[in-house]
A and B are shown apart, each in its own frame.
Chain A
Amino acid sequence: MSTYEDQVRDALRSYGDAVPDAPELWHAIRREAAGRPARSRTFVRVGQLAAGLAAAAVVVAFVAVLGGQSGERVEVGSAQPEPEPGWRRIAEPPEALGSARDADVLWTGEELVVWTGGEGLAYDPDADRWRRLPEPPFGSRETSTAVWTGREMVVWGGHSVDDTGTNSGPLATGAAYDPRTDSWRDIASAPFGASMHAAVWTGHEMFVTGGEQQARALRSAAYDPARDRWRVLPDAPIGRRAAPVVAWLEGGVLVAGGVPLAEGEATDTAALYQLNTDAWQPLKSTGRDVGPQAVTAVMGTRLYVFDDSRVATLRTDGVGVAWGTSSDEPFGPVRFVAGASVGPEVLLVVEAPDGERRLVSYPEEGLIRNDLGSGPGGGDIGDVAVWTGEDLVVLGGEVSAAYRPERPGPGGACSAAALSAAVAPQEGLPRAVAETRAAVATAAVSCDYDRLSELAGGEFTASFGGGDPVRLWRDAERRGETPMRTLRALLDRPFGRDGDLYVWPREFGESDTYLAHRVGIRADGDWMFFVAGD
């Protein structure tokens, strides 16, 4: 072995001798040390209003940016005219987002929040303006996750890195940011820590799984923000992995793919965690790796996976789950960069071999490429796409941009617009129940909230937290969620009975622990609930 020691020593020294010094680095070091205080970056210009909005007055104001240094100068747009369909540039964030794909980007219903691990920015599309979030109650961390609960952004896990770059190991702590009060609160510590894990919001809990943990199994847990309480879930029937793909598919969380944590560990497996039974269901092997590079989009009970110029679908019918047909992607040799489901289609940012990025639509019902252009001009669009209910906002590129689709007639971008208004008759339903079922289905496919409000009587329940059902549904649709699609799809499922209630799906009546969405209509035809959770 000593021969190899000598060889290694000689080779490394030869290599090292060929590396020249870099005295010019000193200037960059001084500039950076002087210009970027440790946790509070100095102001960088916010600006570049949409090219199509040149007529809009631009105001330069000194505003107190919450969480930043007061007096930070931020350029804001005045009241904006309603954007036309198509592309437009939006205000650039106050600092480069770099590879925005490493950041969590969430739509709250009013703002788009970009969380980079230690700092947060929020973009208000109505005002075309960015603001900083206040500092979180913890230091900067890497590979944490952030989910939007409908009320707060919950940041959890990851690891911190100190001044010497030392990694803290997986963290069990986190915090929640409430945009209404512009403040953070600590959340309860989880039973274990994780880093490079994955998280998804299930409707009333944050589900976390995988990543680097002190465990050999794929461990998962769920956090209930209303009770500030964690529960440990059963170990999954598939192996541990980092950064798996997770998706909430009406009643269950799909976990697939990911990155091996040790050599030889398989990640081409998938499983579904079913909320109503608190149990895992192993799925057939995906047959190939589904890594974090894949672009995923959920439409109702179907998960689309865009990866390697191929498209795979995974659907659940509430009982079983199976991979659908994988098909060669018809778009040609492109790399999928980002995507979001928008009503009955997925909008995808794809990159051609020559590096040009374009937006294409992928209609649910067919492999048809609709080219929506390469952006508003001025540079390549980025690698993070978020649907705000009206626009697809694309960040992280040379330009920040928004694409507003054409409104396809009545119903607009209603998530159920592609579904049939007519319901197939179901045997055993009283006439009053059948009529209400048909009326709800018709209203759902056009997001006719006024009609739905009429059909929902005084005792109607849409959320156990209370609140106006119409506002709840409209806000969810604006956030890109699909309550109307869920409602309409549920009414096609077999129904069950619970006293004088007729409920969809049947599984709700068969299990005391069913927590997913269900619809209930009383025998007299009164619509009683469309709700999830407990």
Chain B
Amino acid sequence: MVVTDADAEVARLFHDHHGRLLRLAQLLLGDRASAEEVVQEAFVRLLRRWQSLRDPGAAPAWLRTTVLNLARSRLRRRVLARVRKEPVAVPPASPSERAELSDEHRRVVEAVQALSGRQRECLVLRFYEGLSEAEVAAALGVSAGSVKTHTHRGLAAVARRLEAR
């Protein structure tokens, strides 16, 4: 396999960003295997279109948007599969992952993962990725007002779920 400039550039991006993207995908999807597949697919697409990329500096944002879109698409398929009652392969968190999360944190994460897609994306991007409302809006392709609304409703839903326990 010949190493090209694209390989070298994307390898550097992979080194710098894949861990963060993996965590983003796992927060959205809830399981490791799906997160790895989504991140892998995003980098494969980046490698294939590298030559046509006008601004390589935009690649990290492009990767994040692609991971978000692919995760959303996977969640949609998962909903259909659940309705079809096909086995949905969502492995539980590994023992080491469980061990490192306190009960309180696990309850919060479960509440976030139970949110509707857009609310979950807003909370993860705002509070995990640390993006501003404007940056979340740009990443999701929605207005800043919409981000504010989804974030507020998402937090309210998390609060209701935690208080109900």
A→B interface (CB under 8 Å): 1, 4-5, 7-23, 25-26, 28-30, 32-34, 38, 99, 101, 142, 161, 163-167, 196, 242-243, 259, 291-293, 308, 335
Contact: B84 with A164, CB < 8 Å? Answer: no
A20 to B45, CA, bound (A): 23
Contact: B105 with A15, CB < 8 Å? Answer: yes
Contact: B83 with A17, CB < 8 Å? Answer: no
A-B contact count (CB 8 A): 153
Contact: A5 with B127, CB < 8 Å? Answer: yes
Contact of B90 with A by CB under 8 A:
no
Closest B residue, CB atoms, query A257 = B83
Closest B residue, CB atoms, query A32 = B44
Contact: B48 with A15, CB < 8 Å? Answer: no
B→A interface (CB under 8 Å): 1, 7, 10-11, 14-15, 18-19, 22-24, 26-27, 32, 35-36, 39-40, 43-45, 47-49, 62, 65-66, 68-70, 72-73, 79-80, 83-86, 96-97, 100-102, 104-106, 108-109, 112, 123-124, 127-128, 141, 152, 155-156, 158-159, 162
Q: Give the Cβ gap from A81 to chain B, nearest Cβ, in Å.
A: 37
Contact: A99 with B105, CB < 8 Å? Answer: no
Q: Give the Cβ gap from B88 to chain A, nearest Cβ, in Å.
A: 12
Max chain A C-beta neighbours (<10 A), residue from B22, B36, B83, B85: B83
Contact: A29 with B73, CB < 8 Å? Answer: no
A34 to B105, CA, bound (A): 41
A163 to B127, CA, bound (A): 27
Contact: A14 with B100, CB < 8 Å? Answer: yes
Q: Known contacts being A19-B26, A292-B83, is A14 close to B14, with CB within 8 Å?
A: no
Q: Known contacts being A18-B96, A30-B1, A33-B47, is A291 close to B84, with CB within 8 Å?
A: yes
Contact of B83 among A4, A14, A291, A335 (CB under 8 A): A291
Contact of A38 among B15, B48, B68, B155 (CB under 8 A): B48
Q: Which residues of A contact B22 (CB under 8 A)?
A: 19, 21-22
Q: Which residues of A contact B127 (CB under 8 A)?
A: 5, 8-9, 12
Contact: B80 with A8, CB < 8 Å? Answer: no
Contact: A12 with B27, CB < 8 Å? Answer: yes
Contact of B69 among A22, A164, A308 (CB under 8 A): A164
Closest A residue, CB atoms, query B42 = A165
Contact: A18 with B100, CB < 8 Å? Answer: yes
Q: Which residues of B contact A4 (CB under 8 A)?
A: 155, 158-159, 162
